[in-house]
Chains A and B, each alone.
Chain A
């Protein structure tokens, strides 16, 4: 850790000059490293909280989340278009918080393509190279290569307004490609395209990513894109990172309610219930066993969280940031709500309601109270079951069948080889994915069971997944 050795300012200046006035930390293994990066706007709004990410060279990282979750802001911080309020950014081992964009060895693809309207496609692609005073022959070589990869040869003389959306996007990609930069940053590049083109362009982007061998950070709100293209998915909500992992891992082991309900289409069914002994009882009385071990783990989970709160609350001033962060992260970990509040109701909010925003300390104290008052006999719990883990009672194909329950479908959607069945049960509407030779008929009662080995259990207060914690403890 030679960066931590103390020395006189003069020596420091000399040492820095050795590495071209850049702070280089050789101990960092990854190509792109963000450590505790946060973004606070001048009006006090916190857009990104405690963002940590290590991306290796050549990795394709997707920042995934609903709109307003801070993914674009994070990308722009990496690009240098937004200031980093706190935390550290290392690009290729170099401390880059304050480097201007053009010195960060990055190439960016914008959502709106941002092509220079008065230049031809050739000039658009070669513009960045021209600005770096590269020789004309070399620019031509690189542009031609990129044009070949992206099949833009016959469009080189055209102006952006003479191109279609897909062609414009390819030009934007070409512009990033010729730079031969170490880091590609893409800000929802496909959201302006129609569905079919999107599929086509996904493969183009992967092709380019492999051809360039560069690390790519890709922002999107479409989980399909993230799941199909990324090596690593970063799920974000409201500025908080919810989970980082490979697409498969995040799908099979969601860390909290938000990730569970965000990933997967149709989304995971979340059911309210209580844990009595080793049985989970859902609304309506239906119950099933989860095993003694698992039940004990759940109780331990609740207790550990309660303890964590207690410890934090003992020292309000000392733990102020931790308290604030934890309080802030509670809501984002919950299942994403559909827009319940209408536009007009905002105007008719009663006066008293505005003042009811609790401080982090108050919020956590109240939560601690909740935990402390939990009765041993009846512990609230949330159960998550994916639609494809439901089977008709006579066609169970899973590992361990649950008891059968009956229900009448409200709506049956035909998708060709399978059906999406909307079934009101357990006090809510659940969606099932059934492949069956028998067509479910709406209104006609159906016997359903699910795979007990595939259920997910969540703490309703913190939103945390038990399965995830189990895996951690393994």
Chain B
């Protein structure tokens, strides 16, 4: 009896609650002559008085602390005028949080969003973003689009309009054991051929009991004692695995684009089912499973299967000369080696390089490309639009793009604004000299072009990558694997068309 009465009641409640606020500001509503709630002084400049901006940021941990420090600088500079409060949420939670808030709790939605630029297309499709260019003009904040890395700017440009300001870009990078390379007479490799030369020669030397390595290991060797590499197991100088985040987030894509592949076509559909991608993935497959037809004769990496962070232990123990790492961790690497090899050069025993040129034999414009991921600050369409807030936001975005500078770069995030990385202040910092300079030019970085189908394109490419590098799929050609995954990807995208 009770339940029969309750269902219609609940239905009524549901109907009533769905009649919530749905109106949002869209691009078509911008009027350049509209002053909105702006307050101007006698000189005609906009007066910001106690403007509160709320930003949600996808950075967590140490990145979050650094970002908070940078934003504090802005708040100090604009004390009393503009104040920005930041909440940090990991990217897994952020999506759900955004979803529920933008749909059902609009009043509590943030004004700004610091997130990966690749998300912009999907957000805009749901009507959550405001185009920013107009507000830069209104606030008279300078905006030089040519100063930004083209790929990053492109990622937030949808239908010709700019939907956010790119902030930075990062990718994986390579850590190298300078001491071992030097001891064995190798030069630091600058491209794939040189890398393979070293990695083919080292196992030969090791088999002949001639390869010198050092590092703490389980047999009791200290970090600074030189020893000969064991002849028992083959020496694989550069460990990678499909379980590694560096590989499936960055290296896989990088190998594809360095060989000339495009990831997404103009309609936003996947374009990675190409010979170029196959070439890049084949190169990675040969990395672990060399064959008679591969360029490298020895394996550059053992088959680590689904393990992750596979390079850490070998590099420390000396059984590898190269490893992949996230740039933000480089400072920890330096600290580790400072401690381990305190008496023999410390952090000078390692160096870092970008992924540029390391995954292709081609020598073209594309071979220096690095696939990364970039952040951008986007403006969220609020329930109640405030022109003052929008203009204040542009001031903040401009500050973040140009004044995060070196501190943010030390966390591995290279600035999206090219002039920043060329400035003397940037280059004067010792960190630049030590390592940041090796991470390449910002213009070398590319991100996935904007598309609403990003999730499927990304998931299925990663599936293909994983299967390519797995030992259980050796009997399938790279092209066949790519074809398989491509078909599924396109089918799913078409389901929702």
Tell whether any CB of A sits under 8 Å from a CB of B in the complex: no
Interface residues of B (CB under 8 A from A): none
Interface residues of A (CB under 8 A from B): none
